[in-house]
Amino acid sequence: MAERATPLYRDTPRLLLLALAGLIMLMPYIWMVAASMKPLDEIFRASLTLLPERFHAIENYGKVFARIPVGLYLWNGLVVCGGILFFQLLFAVPAGYALAKLRFPGKEFVFGAVMLGLLVPPHVQALPLYVAFSQLGLLNSYTALIAPFTISVFAIFLFRQFFKSLPDDLIHAARLDGFSEMAIVWRVVLPNAWPAATAFSIFSVVAHWNDLFWPLIVVNGQDYATPALGVMYFRSAEAGDDFGALMAAAVIMTAPLVIAFLLAQRRFVEGIATTGLKG
């Protein structure tokens, strides 16, 4: 509570407690990385030393790259997350603008539908969507992975709230300059709503990179497997009890988002904690 700096010796107990809690939090990461560098016999000895006696990282990581198409999984994750985000923004930004800045009959109704949509978790639509995609022969495709998430009522809600706070004069001025409404949405309103757009993008990418439920339902086999599915396949079929290689696979698939998080920590925390409330 003190605003002036406390001397270090008085701060030490607090820092020690935090460090201890942090160490417990990081336990899975520490052992995951450690095991990914150990040969199997050392892992099975279950000793408590973190550093490997014989450095086996090249073999473990090599095994992962040799056995599963790591690049393909990461690429699929990128395509799916990118595709979902692209359509979410493409659909939600104009709708959010209409709800925030235009007057039209039926507006209350549309906004009511958005609020209603916020109540329904995405798991509820899974069964009929699965049947529909299966009838259309679209299982095992990017379409099946992306299409159900193209509509984000949360994004519409978020952008509407944010656009509402933008001054009307900004839009009037653009209209006087001869901008079409489409141009206003993408070239005037969106650039001024950058914080909301970044926050939502981070939230969306994290949610879908980590999602297992829907990919598990619509994807079978390697071709369209996302990183989450990739780890699962490697675990059940290829690796068995080969924990060294399994941990190496886990490290590889977790790394992209964790690195992004460490680089842009503040944005991630804000993006997920402020927008993720509805997640």
Partner 1 sequence: MSDAALTQALPRPARLALGETATAWLLSAPAIIAYLLMLLLPTLATIALAFTDFELGATGFAWIGLDNFAEMLSDRGFMTSLRNTIIYVGLVTPGSIAGALALALLIEAGTRGRTFFRAVFFLPVVSLTVAMAAAWQYLLHPSIGPLNAMLRVAGLGAPEWLSSSSTVLLSLAAIGIWENLGFNLVLFLAGLTAIPRELYAAAEVDGARHAWQRFRLVTWPMLGPTTLFVLTITMIRAVRVFDTVAVLTQGGPNKASQVLLYTMYEEGFTYFRLGYSAAITLVFLAIVLAMMWLQTKVLDKRVHYG
Site for partner 1 in 59-88 (CB under 8 A): 87
Q: To the nearest whole angstrom, how small is the minimum distance from the Cβ of residue 247 to partner 1?
A: 6
Structure tokens at 165: 């706070």
Closest CA to 67 of 261, 262, 245: 245
The burial class, CB within 10 Å (0-12 / 13-18 / 19+), for 45 is exposed
Helical packing angle, 153-164 and 194-210, nearest 10°: 170
249 touches partner 1 by CB under 8 A: yes
Q: To the nearest whole angstrom, how small is the minimum distance from the Cβ of residue 161 to partner 1?
A: 16
Residues between 5 and 64 that touch partner 1 (CB under 8 A)? 5-6, 8, 11, 14-15, 17-18, 21-22, 25-29, 31-32, 35, 43-48
Q: How many residues bind partner 1 (CB under 8 A)?
A: 110
Residues between 179 and 238 that touch partner 1 (CB under 8 A)? 180-182, 185, 206, 209-210, 212-213, 216-217, 227-229, 231-232, 235
Per CB under 8 A, the list member of 37, 74, 80, 92 interacting with partner 1 is 92
Per CB under 8 A, the list member of 54, 75, 115, 125 interacting with partner 1 is 125
> 10 Å Cβ neighbour count for 111?
15
144 touches partner 1 by CB under 8 A: no
The burial class, CB within 10 Å (0-12 / 13-18 / 19+), for 260 is middle
The burial class, CB within 10 Å (0-12 / 13-18 / 19+), for 14 is exposed
**Distance separating alpha carbons of residues 224 and 260, to the nearest angstrom:** 23
Binding span for partner 1 by CB under 8 A among 4-12, 53-61, 63-71, 191-199: 4-12
